[in-house]
Structure 1
Amino acid sequence: MEARELDLDRLADRARALVADGRRRVLGIAGPPGAGKSTLAGQLAARLEGLAVLVPMDGFHLAQAELTRLGRAARKGAPDTFDAAGYAALLARLRAPEPGVTVYAPAFDRALEEPIAGAVPVPPGIPLVITEGNYLLHDAGPWSAVRPLLDEVWYLDLPDGDRIPRLVARHVRFGKDRDHAARWVAESDEANARLVARGRDRAQLVVRMD
């Protein structure tokens, strides 16, 4: 496993090398909540100028009504609050693009706290799919099917002293009061972060975000 400091130019060069032969590849960006996965993935896709499309794992959140029915709403963000099998099925389909067929992936609306179906078009001619999320390296249950579908995975490593305040601020920005946000991070997000960290050694590259 390689480790390096964040350098967007070098990371973009590494991503381009994955698709140098023009074939479809899938790059995963993993890490704990608040590490900067969605930010880096978005910047990388923009830097690649039409070579990549971003498909977030968070589009496979179960709907809030279903989480409530299952009694899991208070643990939203845990592995069993996603449709992991559906995510793996989409990745398998994206790995084998059909000529002339655009695949539509879901996204997650943080303002609504709900997944949005059919929000991300993936044309067949795009060589790189970038996907990001907490559980790309998780190896329990249906999540174990995800890692074999990724050509390369990068793990983002941000010190807790930076990551946790950013995470609290994000929850506040999307509607939680600060006390509620701090409790949610301490009781829910950090439990998930410890689980995510167990997969760190399964990544090809660790990106130090500090």
Structure 2
Amino acid sequence: MRSERAILGICGAPGAGKSTLAELLVADLGPAAVYLGMDGFHLAQVELDRLGRTDRKGAPDTFDAAGYVNLLSRLHARPDEVVYAPVFRRDLEEPIACAVPVPPEVRLVVTEGNYLLLPDPPWNAVRPLLTESWFLAPDEDERRTRLRARHESFGRTPEEATHRTLGSDERNAALVHTTRDYADLVITT
């Protein structure tokens, strides 16, 4: 009999190191694990433009949260099928559908994102689907420095990177910090 597939959720503010930790874990565990980022559920830029939400990209309502919940549900309900997940391409600033296969032999899915522990619908359906949740809480100055550097590495000017880091990213971080107590483990650095 097969063991149940586990889903580890890593939560934290923008720039906390979620994707870095998730990628390291999956690399260490090999083919029995796969990394799926919540960022694959960003709304497309054209939809953000239509909704007038471009300046708040990364806020909870700029994701297909119900789609993310459905993916996590499918990973539990369909362990004997290949389930495909999207990925977010930072170089394009767009999600790409069906880019990450999760075959039946994958026993651990490591997912990460800002809003895994948010208590508001539809996000509140995520936490019950996670086997365990970790919250990354690095030093805030270090987190902001890494976030600015990431924005610059993808083509933003230093001024644009600072504006994004201290603007919409900081508002999102404040919301994410309110979910810390819902995690099974808090990792500080």
Q: Which residue number corresponds to residue 18 of structure 2?
A: 37
Q: Distance in 1 between matches of 2:104 and 2:132?
A: 20
| Map of 2:162 onto structure 1 | 182
1:29–1:37 Cα contact (<8 Å) kept? yes
Quick one: distance in 2 between partners of 1:49 and 1:83?
Answer: 29
Contact kept in structure 1, 2:9 and 2:111, CA below 8 Å: yes
Note the alpha carbon deviations across 1:94-122, whole angstroms, 9 max, x for none: 012342x2111000000000000000000
Does 2:117 align with 1:163? no
Residues 131-170 of structure 1: matches in 2 within 5 Å?
131-170=111-150
1:25 aligned residue: 6
Determine the structure 2 residue equivalent to 1:203.
183
* 1:36-81 per-position Cα deviation (integer Å, ceiling 9, x unaligned): 0000000000111222101110000000000000000000000000
Q: Say whether 1:87 aligns with 2:68.
A: yes
Which whole-Å CA distance do the structure 2 matches of 1:49 and 1:107 have between them?
Answer: 19
CA RMSD of aligned residues (A): 1.0
TM-score (norm 2): 0.97
Deviation at 1:145, TM superposition (A): 0.9
Q: Identify the residue that residue 9 of structure 1 maps to in structure 2.
A: none
SS for the counterpart of 2:3 is: coil
Following the alignment from structure 2 to structure 1, what is the Cα–Cα distance between the partners of residues 79 and 95? 25
Q: Secondary structure at the match of 1:105?
A: strand
Q: Unmatched 5+ residue regions in structure 1?
A: 1-20
The answer (yes or no) to whether the contact 2:5–2:79 under 8 Å persists in 1 is no
Decide whether the 8 Å contact of 1:24 with 1:97 is kept in 2: no
Tell me which amino acid in the other structure corresponds to 1:150. L
Structure 1 runs of 4+ aligned residues shifted over 4 Å read none
C-alpha distance in 1 between matches for 2:71 and 2:121: 17
Percent sequence identity is 59
Cα distance between partner residues in 1 of 2:137 and 2:181: 12
C-alpha displacement of 1:22? 2.7
